Structure 1
Amino acid sequence: MRSAFLLFVSLALSVTAFPKQHLRRQDATLPATVPRKDPNPKARAAAVAARDEGFIYGPSLIGQAAFFPNGTLGNARTQHDMDLWAIDRATIDGFVAKDVEAVSAALAANGGLKTIDDYAKVLYEGQWKNSNPRGTSPGIMTNYTQDLLFSMERLSLNPYSLRALKRHEPLPFQVDSKVTSKVAGASLKQLQDDGKLFFIDYRWQANLTKTQMEPKRYGAAVSAYFFIHPRTSDFLPLAIKTNTGADLVYTPLDSANDWLLAKLMFNVNDMFHSQMSHLVMTHDVSEAVHQAALHTLSEDHPVMLILERHMVQGYSARIVGEWLCFNPDGHWDQLMYINNIGCRDYVTDTWPTLGRYQANYLHPQFEARGLIDKHGKHPFKSFPFWDDATEIHAGYKAFFKTFVNSYYPSEADLAADHEIKNWFIEATKNAKVFDFPKTVNKDTLIEVLTHFGFLVSVGHHALNGGDPVGSKATLPFHATALFAPVPETKGVTDLLPFLPSAKQAVHYIAFIASFNRQFYQNDNRTMINAYVDDPLLARLNGPTKKAAQTFFKSMKGLSNKIRARTFDKKGLSNGVPFVYRALDPDFIPFICAV
């Protein structure tokens, strides 16, 4: 394992240095300007034309989604981003290598993983101190058998697959009425009619190519009901259907082992969804929008400075994916149930939907799935993701409202900016961003920039980045595959055969830990610092700098609030039996860090 991670480092450091090119047309310390205020418009236009010629839309990576930069400038840009990534990756790989040695020694002393409890104790307690010094989220390792933890993960760790069942749509599957009456105090139809029945559908995973590598791995393609309890208002699981083999329907009334196994099967599918959907909806989308800007916006444009701030290392992600994650026999094939081919097919299939820009704005998307109403109100007793995400979203929107209004006092001022107009046209016409606005006004520009900032920070790190190693990717409850076939009948007495071996488990945790960037807080690369402490951003105007300080203070306040969370007398934190901290603005980066 140590040698595998040292190989990561050697691969990264073998990248040749980015050629020293001063691509800026003018002194990079001068104030950013919109086109109509540039004292040398001809030189500016020539520089934009040169960039347009030097950046070429190349073939997509990891499936057919966003184009990838080619051409003289495109290749130089991706090389530069890889060089920056290599520095960070060498740091984290050194941490991971030390941790692998320590946990391997603990496993040897324990004689391996002999019980399910060993997964939590031996693999995690006192381990991963270097690569994940903040440890696992309190409660995630001790309360994983609770139904409330399992269901509330849908409203916190991965809220992007849950939807409310509409009142008149056909029920996806049936559950024995006696079971629903005992578990939920109502029938499925009653729950549906009252707007209290929710659904997650992973049946599509049955059609994706599975790994053939050893050790053999298995999985279901589950669908599941969740509900709001009519009496307690708790959000709870109701049933999980395997849709494979004997096509069993599990409920909380089954034996403890059977029901826990059903939730494990669900989490295998959920892990695939969260990790692969984040690739499409954050990396692919942000790259496509940014590439359009590279072809149309001057390096001196204030919008370009903002986009560049959020795209540090941005073009390293899919190269790293091709090298280390989704290459044949790479980490994904070694660890997951669905292989690299299935991953690529998923990207291609979902790009037209997950890649939609306006439809995936925070409020419209969650409203479309019935999780909030048109006023932004949700029906749940607690919705941790929504509470934190909307506070961050509001912070971004306030910042960009000041930013846009300060550079464009009137709509006529914005209409006079041909670079912004060309960016919007380019995004749709050549960059092929689905559902990007076709016309621009101040409100539209504010929304576009707000969504971009939100995507690369909250959208990315809610699902990927440094959070999974301490929450949604923790063993034994969040596995990447089953290691025994899906049962044909109920009555499982031993869950250990379904879990990864010690070797697989260490590889998995090390892989997930390698995405963490805990050291970003020490060098001001967390989200609270998105618009401060950068020479380029110092070129922005006075009102924007003031708004940046307001953003910093508001996000620092949210960070302090999240870090102060603890359990109440009922053993809950924000209505959840673990401490939800995924969206801490002073932990997550303001970029799609890989």
Structure 2
Amino acid sequence: MAESLSIEDNPTLEYFTMFVDAEYQVVSNIAVALSRDFNHLAGNLLQPLVDQLAGLKNTVDNVLRVAEPILKSPVAQPLDPAARGVEHLLVQTLDAALRTLDQIRDDIFKALRKMFDSPGLGNFGTVEGVERYRQLYATMPVPAIADSFHDDLVFARMRVAGPNPMVLRKVSGALPANFPLDNKGYQSVMGAGDSLSGAISQGRLYLVDYAELGPAASESATYKLLTGPGHNTAPLAAFAVPAGGGELEPVAIQCGQDPAKHVMFLRPGPGDTDGYWGWQMAKTVVHTADFNHHEMFSHLARTHLVSEAFSVATRRHLAANHPLAVLLTPHFEGSLWINQLATYLILAPETTGDLIFASLLEDSIAATGQARLSWDFYEKMPPAEFAERGVDDKHLQYPYRDDALLIWDAIRGWAGEYVRTYYPSDADVQGDFELVAWADEIAQVGKIKGFSRIDSVDQLVDVVAMIIFTASAQHAAVNFPQKYLMEFMPFYSGMTAAPAPSGTAGHTESDWVRMLPCLLTSVAQLFVLDILGSVNYRPLGDYRTNTFPFANAINDPRIVGPGGPLDRFRAALREAENTIDDRNTRREPYVYLLPSGIPTSINV
């Protein structure tokens, strides 16, 4: 990661206004929600911070109001006196606002730590159950998933259209030895007309396995001063497409890697009331592991930190007017800033990551680092990645795959036209000494696995497409579900407050509720995930600079001329949007790869 940030790495005032507004909304909501139970503490500790945020928001809004006519003027130029005055005002306001926001954010967590100092204060208990979590949404709407999160089809759908659709893998040949699902168990779920061997031979059986979590999924409880005991394991779960076709369905769950320690849970039938709550507990174990894998691996490590390596190498080795720097720099806008923010908002002691995850902070960080280093650049290109997991067979209804490939094709077409404008031959690629130094930096210093020097135009097209896809579409697919699917704690959370169930029957709703995280963990999760899922800035295809007056970043008429490559790229994105809209009329809507909702860069 970059050691420090330059002034040009700060976000624009427009972006910052969106970020402050998102933070203001969620902190205000939390203050109102907590005041219901802890009125004196919440009023004394949180309300002044809400007022500070409101004042900061008003200041930034006022500056934008004054600046807007000049910012939008087609004749505004960097040397124009009025424009220079606005630019100076923007920089000064932004610098002061950033310092103020940092202090407010720090004070919020100090206030929350004070509020939950007393043992038991954050315990949700079992009487009201899920209703206590719904009450955290005092001024914001309760996520729609709160009305259907116990549904088994919703549980299965998360594997193909949820926040982390990167783990599902087709079973080829046989199930792993440590997951002893037999035909009798399979048929008890999927019916006597189907069979385990038939599902495997026909490519209809799939597995998720969270063994990769390693030290972040300790079998034993971890204890933290502020959140008490926390649990996370590395479960396995089987899913199948019915013999007659249809949506993916859950079959079985094993709550850890060792079958001698973890019983097999089979999806209960409609009349099996004795097994219902044990099954719900097992699903919670899976979603807790998936939350950890999503946040540390699929999200932070394999989009944010990957993109940072390319951003730093581009700054170091490509001149500002190098054609690849011109193209890629907008795709790195805000990345270094948000990554640095993560180091003290998520990865610092007693901040959100420490409060949300069960694992010790050092284990979470170590697992994230290993996940980043194990990510292979060429193997993770969408077509190769889907084929490697065996999920490229169209009989599997897989919205993420279908939409990701659509966006990948549009991006690769754009990358191809752009690259071939400047590199007519393989010799041109090989002879670019800046490109050679850039590739060496990425492979050797950035430690991007599988990366190497680039020898051909076709290879360079793939490289550019993958960098853009990771920074835009892939990040959007894992980032924005956080707000709508992951911030509601009974559905997804980073820890459970009780261990995985040891038996399949005899559990009650109270047993399940006791697994859910404490109030402080829930507040931290709501705070950070709502903000991250609320800021959507500069859509894919928007190529402007990050400095006032935010001129077009690409000015080569061969690229931006009427009907040229950039126009064709934008047209391809509009066509993809129409295709996805049409698909969503024939499936459960999946909206996270609609081009209009994909930011150009990882800026949140």
Category of TM-score, reference length = shorter chain:
0.7 to 0.9
Query: Of the candidates 157, 163, 181, which is equivalent to residue 152 of structure 1?
Result: 157
Distance 2:264 2:543 in 1: 47
Change over 3 Å in CA distance of 1:315–1:392 after alignment to 2: same
Q: Secondary structure at the match of 1:240?
A: strand
Is the Cα contact below 8 Å between 1:119 and 1:476 reproduced in 2?
A: no
Between Structure 1 and Structure 2, how many residues are aligned? 494
Distance 1:510 1:315 in 2: 21
Query: Of the candidates 99, 122, 128, which is equivalent to residue 140 of structure 2?
Result: 128
Change over 3 Å in CA distance of 1:407–1:470 after alignment to 2: same
Distance 2:370 2:176 in 1: 25
User: For residues 360-509 of structure 1, what are the structure 2 equivalents within 5 Å?
Assistant: 360-372=380-392, 377-380=393-396, 382-464=397-479, 466-490=480-504, 491-493=506-508, 494=510, 495-509=512-526
Is the Cα contact below 8 Å between 1:528 and 1:556 reproduced in 2?
A: no
Q: Secondary structure at the match of 2:305?
A: helix
Counterpart amino acid of residue 146 in structure 2: M
Query: Of the candidates 519, 526, 539, which is equivalent to residue 526 of structure 1?
Result: 539
Query: Of the candidates 208, 215, 218, which is equivalent to residue 231 of structure 2?
Result: 218
Cα displacement (A) at 1:281: 1.3
Distance 1:430 1:76 in 2: 18
Change over 3 Å in CA distance of 1:442–1:274 after alignment to 2: same
Change over 3 Å in CA distance of 1:169–1:240 after alignment to 2: closer
Partner of 1:132: none
Please provide the CA RMSD for this pair. Answer: 3.0
Q: Deviations over 1:14-52 (max 9, x none)?
A: xxxxxxxxxxxxxxxxxxxxxxxxxxxxxxxxxxxxxxx
Partner of 1:91: 21
Partner of 1:258: 278
Counterpart amino acid of residue 81 in structure 1: D
Q: Please report the TM-score for the alignment, with normalisation by the length of structure 1.
A: 0.76
Q: Secondary structure at the match of 1:263?
A: helix
Query: Of the candidates 379, 382, 399, which is equivalent to residue 359 of structure 1?
Result: 379
Query: Of the candidates 249, 252, 255, which is equivalent to residue 236 of structure 1?
Result: 249
Is the Cα contact below 8 Å between 1:399 and 1:544 reproduced in 2?
A: no
Is the Cα contact below 8 Å between 2:487 and 2:529 reproduced in 1?
A: yes
Distance 1:155 1:322 in 2: 30
Distance 1:432 1:398 in 2: 27
Change over 3 Å in CA distance of 1:338–1:370 after alignment to 2: same
Cα displacement (A) at 1:505: 2.6
Change over 3 Å in CA distance of 1:83–1:518 after alignment to 2: closer
Distance 2:171 2:429 in 1: 42
Is the Cα contact below 8 Å between 1:310 and 1:591 reproduced in 2?
A: yes
Counterpart amino acid of residue 332 in structure 2: M
Distance 2:212 2:27 in 1: 37
Partner of 1:191: 199
Question: Greater helix percent: which structure?
Answer: 2
Partner of 2:170: 164
Partner of 2:110: none
Counterpart amino acid of residue 391 in structure 1: L
User: For residues 239-388 of structure 1, what are the structure 2 equivalents within 5 Å?
Assistant: 239-243=252-256, 246-253=261-268, 255-277=275-297, 278-354=299-375, 356-372=376-392, 377-380=393-396, 382-388=397-403
- Gaps of at least 5 residues in structure 2 are 40-123
Identity %: 22
Partner of 2:559: 543
Change over 3 Å in CA distance of 1:216–1:420 after alignment to 2: same
Distance 2:412 2:544 in 1: 13
Cα displacement (A) at 1:170: 4.2
Q: Deviations over 1:422-472 (max 9, x none)?
A: 3223322343322114332111111111101110112212122x3311123
Q: Deviations over 1:96-138 (max 9, x none)?
A: 22222344467789xx8954452675345x8426xxxxx74x5
Change over 3 Å in CA distance of 1:488–1:239 after alignment to 2: same
Is the Cα contact below 8 Å between 1:421 and 1:440 reproduced in 2?
A: no
Higher mean C-alpha deviation, range 394-403 or range 169-178: 169-178
Partner of 1:514: 531
Distance 2:452 2:560 in 1: 24
Change over 3 Å in CA distance of 1:76–1:97 after alignment to 2: closer
Change over 3 Å in CA distance of 1:107–1:469 after alignment to 2: farther
Distance 1:107 1:541 in 2: 62
Cα displacement (A) at 1:419: 2.1
Counterpart amino acid of residue 141 in structure 1: A
Change over 3 Å in CA distance of 1:580–1:558 after alignment to 2: same
Cα displacement (A) at 1:409: 3.1
Change over 3 Å in CA distance of 1:488–1:538 after alignment to 2: closer
Cα displacement (A) at 1:370: 0.7
Higher mean C-alpha deviation, range 261-270 or range 286-295: 286-295
Cα displacement (A) at 1:538: 3.6
Q: Secondary structure at the match of 1:216?
A: strand
Is the Cα contact below 8 Å between 2:486 and 2:493 reproduced in 1?
A: no
Counterpart amino acid of residue 378 in structure 2: Q
Q: Secondary structure at the match of 2:147?
A: coil
Is the Cα contact below 8 Å between 1:248 and 1:489 reproduced in 2?
A: yes
Counterpart amino acid of residue 290 in structure 2: D
Distance 1:433 1:538 in 2: 27
Cα displacement (A) at 1:418: 2.7
Is the Cα contact below 8 Å between 1:532 and 1:549 reproduced in 2?
A: no
Cα displacement (A) at 1:529: 2.4
Cα displacement (A) at 1:514: 1.8
Distance 1:206 1:441 in 2: 38
Q: Secondary structure at the match of 1:539?
A: coil
Change over 3 Å in CA distance of 1:269–1:488 after alignment to 2: same
Is the Cα contact below 8 Å between 1:302 and 1:540 reproduced in 2?
A: no
Counterpart amino acid of residue 570 in structure 2: F
Q: Secondary structure at the match of 2:447?
A: coil
Distance 1:166 1:485 in 2: 31
Counterpart amino acid of residue 345 in structure 2: L
Q: Secondary structure at the match of 2:146?
A: coil
Is the Cα contact below 8 Å between 1:218 and 1:481 reproduced in 2?
A: yes
Change over 3 Å in CA distance of 1:479–1:430 after alignment to 2: closer
Alignment of 1:69 onto 2:81: no
Is the Cα contact below 8 Å between 2:426 and 2:455 reproduced in 1?
A: no
Is the Cα contact below 8 Å between 2:281 and 2:500 reproduced in 1?
A: no
Q: Deviations over 1:205-257 (max 9, x none)?
A: 46336452323222332111111221344311111101279412111126221
Q: Secondary structure at the match of 1:449?
A: helix
Q: Secondary structure at the match of 1:230?
A: coil
Is the Cα contact below 8 Å between 2:2 and 2:312 reproduced in 1?
A: yes
Counterpart amino acid of residue 541 in structure 1: P
Cα displacement (A) at 1:553: 3.2
Counterpart amino acid of residue 565 in structure 2: A
